[in-house]
Structure 1
């Protein structure tokens, strides 16, 4: 396999070219490029299998090169060269399809060669899988089921009915039924190319959704499909979800078929049941609708809790988010996207506060395939709560919120010593000897939360200790930790901790 080195530093290109014995690793030197644009021109002329690219380069950087390769569906694997301070670029490159990365300051030629061998093996496996996939798809395209399926897709796209299809399917007042299978990301390959028994048409809507059209004969088609998936393909019921629409009498119903399946899927997703689905085919669609609102405020509260490294608040707001999604019932795709994006933001916020290793957390939770492995809201909510709990544990095990900035450290120290007094941000700024606005901006940039948020968290943590260990009344504790108004204290405590001070005291005495 040919290897192309892309780096704007000539010494790096020379070292890699001369210090690695490419043939020993089953590789071949394929050339070098000054930057991404130079590399792109080479890739248009020559077949390259493996690309080693720096991130920061003139004209076209490594990240843009990776994006172009992905957009072009290039049959090549990419390894990124990274410095310590550009990891955010590396992270984005990995999301865009890079195979791996290696730190330039500590890179050894042999280490890079080993990574390239791994990339080569992964690329070969991917090519073999693609070849198998293409072969199966060619076979499916030749089947009558697929031919009718393609004609049905044309009807959906154009909005114009197919007279031949109408005559074939609805002759002699024939009645149809339809099943749609929603697969998890890792299970759909198991049935690729399968020609479903007795089906009139087979439509692959996308990688995870398959639609089947049957002649309705009084049997429960959904159960038959489930039996096929579990018995012949050994898929667990957690790997797929089947919806069924019965009593299709005319072309107008076929035109609305996907929307009807989506409505049924929406109801099943929030009902938390992924078996025995045919009963949903006659449900009133209006009963499945809710306000569809996403829990944006709760999302912001969770991110603030992460910035403050407040483990209890993180767990509280994750539960609130799951409960709000279940109550409001936005579209299934909206819910998946919301959870996926939120976990990505959560990891990014956590990375600003700690040096903890989060790569394993991101691999396990921050991926669309992981999110969509949960086929109902109940399991997705529990999975999301577990993810946030895992992140909270990582933050907790890595210590408390810190900053190397002396002004920020001095402000933190002052708040920890004087939290019981009625101090303001002006008092903190006067103690630090900076203007209030400058200190506020500096503190927020360094810690990810405001001075008031830190002060409030310090007060609530001390209040929790007193509730557990002292015999003081709630209003006395409120005053002891710097709150003048007990009602404000109780409201703030519940927002951060998730329960009232009295409830917390009863649970922890």
Structure 2
């Protein structure tokens, strides 16, 4: 049973979440509640048995962002899910950067959607526990921890003795760090369950271990999901050209083996080469930065530290404000303009050179959120466009290059364009049917309700359509039909005022006379007399 800590300042929200469904049946216990961030931290310090945290963003005393930041100082593994409102996106973006697992809008909160996020968190917990137990049962655990500490700058004074004790294949000469990331790893996470994914990761490690043993090139450290660091050293070489050539040959060999045996593509970021163990942390930083250039250069490549100097970083840019022309093209239904604006967006995002993949994801999520906010104001929702609920964060974080993110953004915008086009056709058709129905039956006691039922839309929607599409209200259009018919009968028949009133849909002739005078400027009798005078 996974224990969940629920953090929200509204008791009603906490009670609602607890009563959404049979959580225990699916292995979850709402084990604790906190009414704000400070209360949550107190509970986490005194009761350290929670497995999942579900927190609101906007709270008094200490908001959700600060809670997440504090939790991540001592626990970077516990899954954190965020509850947010539509206007919380800047905070959701910060939470995402702090390492939350996912978020859900309060407006879309239901048992099935929240259960899905809980189950994903459960899979993460299970995989983490399994991996932890495997590492502890393996003799390489302490060696891995020592190598992790080297990467993070925790270098002991007796490092030479530790290297010898752990039988680490490194020397001080020609040290280098490479970061190897599995391409499309998030897609693999969605495709396979935790057991299959664990087996794939073990197979990847086996290939790495075989190659490092074969080439005697160094040591491999698992640093994240689908991400590895290789510390290598090349002895007895004074020529940097030869060192670079040997390292490149080895890394290409690893790439080819992974693709040949496992059909897995990897991108490798490579640091510069230095002498001495004290340089390992800075080499690690270089390699991470080089690996992040996958964003710009694409997948399946080896990217070197010197490539960083060719990139001018403008990561503080934003896509905010770029939506105006796109929104205009969407609602004016100008496909040529839309495609031109999409190309402008593509060029602009590439010029930003975001500093990290998380920054890139945040830029695109922010832009998508802004676009969807405009659509929301027009009563156009994501499920209308994509015919299902869609989690944009879940989708965008699958992409690892700017080209992929731009293609996804283009797909979204063209889908929105098609939905608006369809709606426009639908609206015109509905208004036309409503008018035809009213022209046929204006003599009867028809109402907004009866017409909306006839064309199968809500009264509110029909009323809004009439105003936006015809420039007049439903009642205004119906009244105009009746008054025009009354004027024709007054001119061309000998019917009494009462008879005309009944024929055009007014049971009370006095009410008809008032409506007629209001719209024509004179009474029905005066209008008839004036028409007769003109004819004489």
Contact 2:176 2:270 in 1 (8 A): yes
Counterpart in the other structure of 2:321:
300
Given the alignment, which residue of 114, 129, 132 partners 2:130? Answer: 132
Counterpart in the other structure of 1:452:
none
Counterpart in the other structure of 1:225:
254
Distance 1:269 1:128, change over 3 A: closer
1:201 aligns with 2:223: no
Given the alignment, which residue of 344, 348, 351 partners 1:320? Answer: 344
What is the Cα deviation at residue 163 of structure 1? 6.5
Q: Secondary structure at the match of 1:349?
A: helix
Cα shift readout 1:189-217 (whole Å, capped 9, x = no counterpart): 64279374225333445545422022338
Contact 2:313 2:354 in 1 (8 A): yes
TM-score, length of structure 1 as denominator length: 0.53
Distance 1:358 1:345, change over 3 A: farther
Instruction: Give the gaps of 5 or more residues in structure 2.
Output: 190-196, 235-242, 428-459, 472-536
1:211 aligns with 2:229: yes
Cα shift readout 1:56-101 (whole Å, capped 9, x = no counterpart): 9997999799969976789799898x9xxx6667998998667878
CA separation in 2, counterparts of 1:406 and 1:36?
43
Contact 1:8 1:57 in 2 (8 A): no
Contact 1:202 1:212 in 2 (8 A): yes
Distance 1:97 1:137, change over 3 A: same
Aligned-CA RMSD value: 6.0
Match runs of 1:230-309 below 5 Å: 230-232=259-261, 234-237=262-265, 240-245=266-271, 247-250=273-276, 254=280, 256-261=282-287, 264-265=290-291, 269-272=295-298, 274-275=300-301, 277=302, 281=304, 283=306, 285-286=308-309, 288-290=310-312, 292=314, 296=318, 299-306=320-327, 309=331
CA separation in 2, counterparts of 1:293 and 1:99?
24
CA separation in 2, counterparts of 1:229 and 1:391?
39
Cα shift readout 1:249-300 (whole Å, capped 9, x = no counterpart): 445764542354356446664344633x2xx5485654x123637775x752
TM-score, length of structure 2 as denominator length: 0.51
Distance 1:376 1:155, change over 3 A: same
Q: Secondary structure at the match of 1:381?
A: helix
What is the Cα deviation at residue 142 of structure 1? 1.9
When structure 1 is superposed on structure 2, of 141-150 and 381-390 the one drifting more is 141-150
Distance 1:251 1:272, change over 3 A: same
Contact 1:179 1:244 in 2 (8 A): yes
Contact 2:170 2:233 in 1 (8 A): no
When structure 1 is superposed on structure 2, of 61-70 and 258-267 the one drifting more is 61-70
Counterpart in the other structure of 1:354:
379
What is the Cα deviation at residue 162 of structure 1? 5.8
1:153 aligns with 2:132: no
CA separation in 1, counterparts of 2:271 and 2:69?
41
Distance 1:309 1:194, change over 3 A: same
Contact 2:36 2:63 in 1 (8 A): yes
Match runs of 1:400-415 below 5 Å: none
Instruction: Give the gaps of 5 or more residues in structure 1.
Output: 415-509
- Paired residues in the alignment total 388
Contact 1:177 1:247 in 2 (8 A): yes
Contact 1:295 1:324 in 2 (8 A): no
Match runs of 1:398-437 below 5 Å: 398-399=423-424
Structure 1 or 2, whichever has the larger Rg, is: 2
Q: Secondary structure at the match of 2:229?
A: strand
Distance 1:46 1:284, change over 3 A: closer
Counterpart in the other structure of 1:182:
181
CA separation in 2, counterparts of 1:98 and 1:392?
28
Distance 1:39 1:400, change over 3 A: farther
Cα shift readout 1:474-508 (whole Å, capped 9, x = no counterpart): xxxxxxxxxxxxxxxxxxxxxxxxxxxxxxxxxxx
Match runs of 1:460-471 below 5 Å: none
Q: Secondary structure at the match of 1:154?
A: coil
